[in-house]
Amino acid sequence: MTQTQHDRLLIIDFGSQVTQLIARRLRELNVYCEIHPFNLVTEAFLAEFAPKAVILSGGPASVFDEGAPRPPAKVFELGVPVLGICYGQQVMMHMLGGHVERGHGTAEFGRAYVTPSEDRIDLLKGWFLDTREQVWMSHGDHVSKIAPGFAVYGTSPNAPFAITADLERRFYAVQFHPEVHHTPNGRTLYENFVRDAGFTGDWTMEAYREEAIRKIREQVGDKKVICALSGGVDSSVAAILLHEAIGDQLTCVFVDHGLLRLNEATEVVTMFREHYNLPLIHADESELFLGKLDGVSDPETKRKIIGGLFIDVFQKYANGIEGAEFLAQGTLYPDVIESVSFSGGPSVTIKSHHNVGGLPEKMGLKLVEPLRELFKDEVRALGRELGLPDSFIGRHPFPGPGLAIRCPGEITREKLEILRKADAVYIDQIRKHGLYDEIWQAFVAILPVRTVGVMGDGRTYDFACALRAVTSVDGMTADYYPFSHDFLGETATRIINEVKGINRVTYDVTSKPPGTIEWE
Ligand code: XMP
């Protein structure tokens, strides 16, 4: 649990796929909240956390299951507002004296419309302007009798108790999911709930900056910190924040593996050394990485080689920094949340991910993670607060193994050179057409085939490349971006004219799944 000075809302997680979205909606409303799995929320935990309001999430269980998940009864004795969502609503009714009925195979899933009762409550301010409100349902069991003290404030054809409340105790229960996109007015409902609970919206990045700096100083004292700076948003924001807090006690190591984009190393080094005056070691180890990758074409082998070397190299430079006791990492809140997993069992490894996990123990370092409480868009807001230029903040994600996984087959310096140039033209095109911010990630992959073409009066025999552009919210699933034919044609012409070594351009229209975003 994190100690902050802010009013805190507790989300008790029962394993819904969309619990994180509840936290997102609340953070957008400048409300500080944390998600904790139901089995870790004890009475002692509640006392320490001291929430100003509680939300019970949805989840796949049934209150009839043996050992069905429950919040501690104490939640209902805290005297703070409680909102139960879907399973959270059912478990609330079950515990407070209502009745839940088994679904018997009649699940309600998808879009539904809720209409209001005569009485309008504050929770629904801004709702039903259009007489009915679209919501998203996803449940098997349903409430058949509401608990004493509750009244009905909204119904849908299949959910007579779609919205209920006990106004006296400020308990609210909804059968649908207000946090998802398909409940278009869901944010208003959360807003009404937190305003009723007395939240003032004190969670802003301006306030967070001060607080984070104070906490870093407390944690680190006069000791030294090292940070692996990649130039991505997370590590950049973490580094700048730390530098603001502890100045030259921080040293950053930027490992250049020779697999970066055009001018990337120079841009990162110039920005952090000159603009931020941050002590930075530019570890140019491209010879080492490219040497070890010579002749390797298997994707997993490439990833393992790069991951292993990265750790060795980082360690080598870090060992040279006398007295370093801490390692800074740009870990974000989604990596920290201990969500409940009902699926069980390890998931299949699709790709080995490149990171510095395991390093702190190996090197006997303690961790500093100043972004642990933040979602990605909060990190961006903090970056803006710290003066990072938009060109850095809005950058598309770039994978740790870099261009190696955009170069299927053997990696050669010639191919990397061609790839860098083609990628730069493609991104320039996207920016010129004002599409960069609509796209989650765009890049070129150079294919391990040469094809025949004709330029001027001559025959060419050059590489083919594939353009990739996807939209996504989290990189877990993705759709290909629907460029216009004009855009694609113009871009292909520019790449072929401006990049020697490419004579054919294709566009990758695979979504994820079944594809992945990167080619390897
Ligand atoms: P895939 O290709 O698995 O990628 O659909 C999903 C997202 O993750 C990025 N990616 C990586 N990021 N280290 C990283 O830091 C890696 O090893 C790595 N592999 C893929 C990818 O660019 C996309 O945004």
**Peptide bond just before 513 cis, omega within 30 deg:** yes
Establish whether 252 is a catalytic residue: no
Nearest-angstrom CA–CA distance, 459 and 454? 5
Binding site members for ATP: 230-236
3-state helix vs strand vs coil in the chain, percent to 5: 35, 25, 40
Nearest-angstrom CA–CA distance, 370 and 22? 22
Q: Which atom of ligand 1 sits closest to the CA of residue 352? A: 17
Instruction: CATH 3.40.50.880 in the chain: give the residue spans.
Output: 9-197
On the CB side of 146, how many CA atoms lie within 13 Å of its CA? 23
Atom 18 (ligand 1) nearest CA: 399
Which amino acid, one-letter code, is at 21? L
**Which 8-state DSSP code applies to residue 75?**
G
Options 3.30.300.10, 3.40.50.920, 1.10.8.10, 3.40.50.2300; CATH for 413-507 is 3.30.300.10
Q: Which atom of ligand 1 sits closest to the CA of residue 401? A: 17
> Shortest CA distance to 94 belongs to which of 113, 115, 69?
69
Ligand 1 first shell, C-beta below 6 A: 351, 353-354, 397, 399-401, 441, 475, 512, 516-518
Nearest-angstrom CA–CA distance, 134 and 176? 10
Q: Which of 177, 243, 257, 282 is catalytic?
A: 177
In the prediction, which pLDDT does 341 show?
Answer: 56
> Shortest CA distance to 31 belongs to which of 195, 179, 189?
195
Q: How do the pLDDT tens digits run along the chain, 520 residues long? A: 555 678 999 999 999 988 989 999 999 999 999 999 999 999 999 999 999 999 999 999 999 998 899 999 999 999 999 999 999 999 999 999 999 998 776 677 889 999 999 888 999 999 998 889 999 998 889 999 999 999 999 999 888 999 999 999 999 999 999 999 899 999 999 999 999 999 999 999 998 999 999 999 999 999 999 999 999 999 999 999 999 999 999 999 999 999 999 999 999 999 999 999 999 999 999 999 999 999 999 999 999 999 999 999 999 998 999 999 999 999 898 887 766 655 444 456 667 766 566 677 777 899 999 999 898 889 999 999 999 998 889 999 999 999 999 999 999 999 999 999 999 999 999 999 999 999 999 999 999 999 999 998 899 999 999 999 999 987 888 999 999 999 999 999 999 999 999 999 999 999 999 999 999 9
Q: What phi and psi values does residue 126 have, to the nearest 5 degrees?
A: 90, 0
- Ligand 1 midpoint to CA 399 (Å): 5
Instruction: Enter the CATH code of domain 205-394.
Output: 3.40.50.620
Which amino acid, one-letter code, is at 140? G
Complete DSSP assignment for 376-407: HHHHHHHHHHTT--HHHHTPPP--TTGGGGGS
Atom 21 (ligand 1) nearest CA: 399
- Ligand 1 midpoint to CA 519 (Å): 10
Is 419 in contact with 477 (CB distance < 8 Å)?
no
Instruction: Enter the CATH code of domain 9-197.
Output: 3.40.50.880
- Ligand 1 midpoint to CA 380 (Å): 19
Q: Which of 34, 36, 86, 94 is catalytic?
A: 86
Atom 6 (ligand 1) nearest CA: 475
Establish whether 177 is a catalytic residue: yes
Instruction: CATH 3.30.300.10 in the chain: give the residue spans.
Output: 413-507
3-state secondary structure of 486: helix
Q: Which of 179, 191, 373, 520 is catalytic?
A: 179
Atom 3 (ligand 1) nearest CA: 516
Q: Which atom of ligand 1 sits closest to the CA of residue 354? A: 17
Quote the pTM value: 0.84
Atom 9 (ligand 1) nearest CA: 399
- Ligand 1 midpoint to CA 220 (Å): 31
Binding site members: 230-236
CA 54 vs. chain centroid, Å, equals 23
Nearest-angstrom CA–CA distance, 520 and 406? 7
> Best mutation site among 255, 353, 479 for ligand 1, i.e. most ligand atoms within 8 A of its Cβ?
353
Establish whether 86 is a catalytic residue: yes
- Ligand 1 midpoint to CA 213 (Å): 30
In the prediction, which pLDDT does 345 show?
Answer: 43
In the prediction, which pLDDT does 338 show?
Answer: 61
Is 262 in contact with 416 (CB distance < 8 Å)?
no
Q: Which atom of ligand 1 sits closest to the CA of residue 405? A: 19
CA 351 vs. chain centroid, Å, equals 18
